[in-house]
Structure 1
């Protein structure tokens, strides 16, 4: 029977940025932890798995693969001997749903505040399997953020993860693993910063980003460096430091990953467009927006991408377009872009939908359609029903309220909306800390 490439294993390796050599090393280390003897898996073995030449590893390797990846051999695309057909690849899922929770998956921040690896189970030598385990914890926190929004308990858990990664980095390991641990520590620290940004607690976010950038530099990880500059641009804009936001976006454009990836290039130009629009350089803002659109058109939508940038695509670009167009005084174009963003957003992206709906309401308000704007902004509370409103969302709604009162101070609609806003604020406006 013709050999069948193992796309499931290849997809897992792409998602985790792991080479064949690194996977073989991780499997051998896992075998040593399981049996007391270092495994003999080679880079050639992994290539045979990927090509389908070896469709069912021996038992020790299967157990080690499960320890490294958290997936069974069949979930990784391997086929037990005697099966004529390989198991079909699992259906693609939303990036948030694809991430695994630890333990019972309760989503509790308390679970993430616990040590990631117990002291008694830490191996004397650190390997790639430890990096994979820590990366999974980062993704768990990202999934928790997607569910609950930014909050200080998540920040504390992320900082605990960074401390764990740095503690392992000091143990005996290879230079490559050491750099990967620095990268994971940077990712944890950037996650802590983002949690504060989303919660609207901006004072300490910059300190975390400074630390994340230092760790990313030590890791020589251009993807992480780009992630930090992206967050720095977002933080600076929220602080009203538009020149800094533009400079951070330009630093993101200069990273190696942005120079080689149209997707990253597009995001960096889109961030610059927002900063330029707020600074008042409208012509430059629209030029940057055009560059972002051109680059996004060249990006491969099906190419593997890092978790942090999984959110960016046509829907997010249209949402950013709505912001830029509204700020430069084109509310009709902003309204159209908001509708395009909402049409492109997956239903599971509730917070993105709520943010974009707020921007749509502002665009309608800026066109003088007070009744429609109030109706649209009220949908935000329906979209977020049952969940607290993160700090950024509360700030956006506050902006809408202030502009509504400014543009229509005597309108009964403005008074009705304000009364509802106060009610929603008092009953569930604040994320738990």
Structure 2
């Protein structure tokens, strides 16, 4: 499928324009509401030459009408999918956007910290870095060091988050400034609490550089590898209402503080269909590298009735833009070539029975295997990155009506009244 941005734009005079009345009728709203959509940036308008009215791009109006219908269906009692109005991330046409800006462009041009700030505030703060308070780091490290060696990355991060909360007596302040302060200290605290990967921890500089010392035993990473890790973090900051993000919004709806909301997200992310998916792709990639051929490895997976990890995404009928961006950076790292070839072999072999594109989990697996990281490294990258998105959604939810995330159950049990059990 040809990417949308590679297609030639239609000539402007070929665009179908609607009057205000026509747009209002299509949207099922009053003309005043059409202009409210314009003021909120949801529609663009063009003044009629020599006149007092405006016209609207028919495709924009139709797309907004479809979104409104989906939201109405989700909020009804008819059992439609839950829909939540958000101004953070939009996914459509095999692309995704942070506050209206192409997320891939942001991630490839700005650091993880800068992208996080954009997601939180809608403002870019060039050169920003996050600093963890010494007291918060000390208490988090002590707690993490008591966990057994086999503890998973999300175990470490959950404990570090809970303990960091106890060191913050102002955690119940849900004002925007207070929550942003929490975000800017919690994320570096989580990284600082992770054990080193065979060499000294790094606790200063860009967050990706600090995270590297927790994930890879290689002491002197090249700039291309560090850039790939930093971009991976920025690409994964948010992805609309993923399962973990919905859990965060439910917690924030109940006015749980930011640490508790992040803990809710960490509790969901561990599933093999979410944050842990990259670990499955890592192991698959290692098996292909060991055997030198994807065919027998894929055959074993299919014989066991397992889906092939790292392929396809329900929100992207075509190519996952996050995978495309990360693969492009990995191609600049010579030692990543074997893993890249193995990943291509996996996609081509699987395409014989299911034409699926590589998703970001497979791209993460190429990064982690080529940089000498363990299978769980992708899960750590995912969790650290997504913490910024969770904070953004918690902030947005704090501005909504409390306890609105309370769907009604459709009872399917025995019809009451039933007799008391014996």
Asked if these proteins are the same fold (TM beyond 0.5), I'd say no
Greater helix proportion: 1
Please, what TM-score do these two structures have when normalized by structure 1?
A: 0.27
TM-score by length of 2: 0.28
